[in-house]
Amino acid sequence: MGDGTIPTDTAKKIAMPTLVMDGGKSFYFVHATADMLGKIIPVASRKTLKDQPHQAAAEAMAPVVKEFFA
């Protein structure tokens, strides 16, 4: 986490549906981490918000979050 590691053992144990998102303009390590978590978490949904930075606009996030919770 703060040291650059990803808690993969913990992530593998997540049993609740999880939305893993990043912005299309996020730094490469954000994409890599989101991709990894999207594959490791058994019930993950993985989305990239096209043309959005790491702190994506609410307008870009809302439809994705709404679909996830539908």
State the average pLDDT for the chain. 94
Which of the 8 DSSP states describes residue 13?
A: T
Q: Rounded to an integer, what distance in angstroms lies between the CA atom of residue 7 and that of residue 62? A: 27
Query: The pTM is what?
Result: 0.86
Q: Which tokens belong to 3?
A: 């040291």
pLDDT of amino acid 17: 97
Nearest to 68, CA basis, from 29, 10, 17: 17
Q: Rounded to an integer, what distance in angstroms lies between the CA atom of residue 32 and that of residue 39? A: 11
pLDDT over 90 at 21, yes or no:
yes
Name residues whose C-beta falls within 8 Å of residue 31's C-beta, 6 or more positions apart in sequence.
22, 48
